[in-house]
Amino acid sequence: MTIGIFGAGHMGSAMIKGWLRSEAILPQELLVRGGRRGTAQALQKELNFKLTDDNHAFLEQDIIFLAVNTPLILPILNDLKEILQDKIIPIVSVSAGVSVKEMQAVMGDHYPLAQAIPNTPVQINQGMTGIVYSENITLKNKELIQRNFNYLGELVEITEDKIGIFGTLAGCGPAFVDVFMEALSDGAVLNGMDREMAYHVAANMVASSANLLLETGKHPGELKDGVTSPGGTTIKGITALEKEGFRYATINAIDTIMKS
């Protein structure tokens, strides 16, 4: 298995780290073309994958990923179309701004394409990725794409009209959770806990609470009710959150992104 990837920014780097961390992909099986900022070169010194500045090198890859800024997707595809000619190598964009239909307009309706929206936990093989496939993709190419994302965490197939909300929830959500954990830790520090311990406890609590929901399949409200004793400390804390509009602020954050 050989993987080619354009881009080693936040998402590209996360995917590269995840593949190599999985040990299913070896450094010599990973070809990266970086940009002008030098992030790919710096990461290559750490992880020892192959670097290139020649798009023709992607002719030898089994699959190609595009992890670059949205304005670069179509120009790269135009270049790859000329280079690949009759060779068929599945191409996956991880940019939210270019649809499969727009990619097909360049590569043709027959070409195996996908648009995927991963989130940054792919770097520790615990990512959540939504994916849309081109209409005429073969089962063989679809399975190849799925296998590479399965190394990075969970993959779910979605329709093109849902990719925006998926990206907002799964892609922006980690930042919301990070802010929440930081605020929880600030509250703990305010009350005497040292910072390192506060971050550790908050992160562990969030992770284990999420796993409890996933493993039990219970409604979040039911799990919340199991912690909130009548007149107890937890319900007092929840009341304080509600007073400050915690739920509305969270819903509004998602809605604001979708309307922007």
CA distance 185 to 128: 25
Of the candidates 245, 129, 128, 253, the residue with the CA atom closest to the CA atom of residue 179: 253
β pairing state of 50-51 and 30-33: parallel
Of the candidates 221, 137, 207, the residue with the CA atom closest to the CA atom of residue 178: 207
Structure tokens at 40: 């790919």
8 Å CB contact between 103 and 113? yes
125 in a labelled binding site: no
8 Å CB contact between 119 and 154? no
Assign 3-class secondary structure to 12-45: HHHHHHHHHHHCCCCHHHEEEECCCCCHHHHHHH
| DSSP states of 70-133 | HHHHHHHHHHHHHHHTT----EEE--TTS-HHHHHHHH-TTS-EEEEE--GGGGGT-EEEEEEE
Binding residues for NADPH: 55
Residue numbers belonging to the annotated binding site: 55
